Amino acid sequence: MADTQETARRLAIVCAREQEIGGRLRAGPLGSDDLLRELIQAARAGEDVADRVDTLHSVLEAIGVVRGLYAFDEHGSAGDRGVHAVGVDRGLPAEPVHLCPNARCARFWWPQGPAPVPRCTVSGDALRRERR
């Protein structure tokens, strides 16, 4: 089972890429995205979703999505591996960022011109704005 931080990261991928993940599940041998729907419903109900997120990740790998949920990660990595350039400040810039409205997952979105703020797949609320 994944740790809490990893569960939040995986749930963020689900929230941001629900359509693509659902499409891949429907196109695969399962022919259904029920597993994804059940995960989202459990998150909406406030249930612990760690096991469901782990199962979804494993099922994606089993049906040929080599990196599981991480194949849908728009940030392109499976986590901070601890390799950083010397002299580069790793602190967050002091600019607006939009985060999960319920702080359930690690999803974030940087404002991009006139693009509308994305909505949370779980709650339906717009991502909340914070200054970092």
Per residue in 95-126, pLDDT (tens digit) is: 788 899 988 888 988 888 888 999 999 999 99
Mean pLDDT confidence for 8-31: 93
Name the residue range of residue 29's domain: 4-72
Check whether 18 has a pLDDT greater than 60.
yes
* Segments in the chain forming alpha helices (H): 4-16, 18-27, 34-44, 50-62
CA–CA separation, 21 and 100 (whole Å): 19
Q: And the tokens for 16?
A: 């941001």
pLDDT for residue 82: 44
In a domain, 47, yes or no: yes
Q: At what angle do helices 4-16 and 34-44 cross, to 10 degrees?
A: 120
Does 33 fall in a domain?
A: yes
Answer whether residue 109 is part of any domain. no
In a domain, 39, yes or no: yes
Domain count across the chain: 1
Q: What integer pLDDT is reported at residue 30 of this predicted model?
A: 87
pLDDT in tens, 30-86: 899 999 999 999 999 999 999 999 999 999 999 999 899 999 987 644 444 444 455
Residue with the two structure tokens 């989202």 = 40
Amino acid at 116: P
Q: Per the domain annotation, does 88 fall within a domain?
A: no
Above 50 in pLDDT, residue 27? yes
Is 125 domain-assigned? no
- Predicted TM-score (pTM) of the model is 0.71
Alpha-carbon separation of residue 104 from 29, 46, 80, 87, 123 (angstroms): 30, 9, 20, 33, 10
pLDDT for position 3: 77
Q: How far apart, in Å, are the Cα atoms of 51 and each of 66, 86, 94?
A: 20, 38, 35
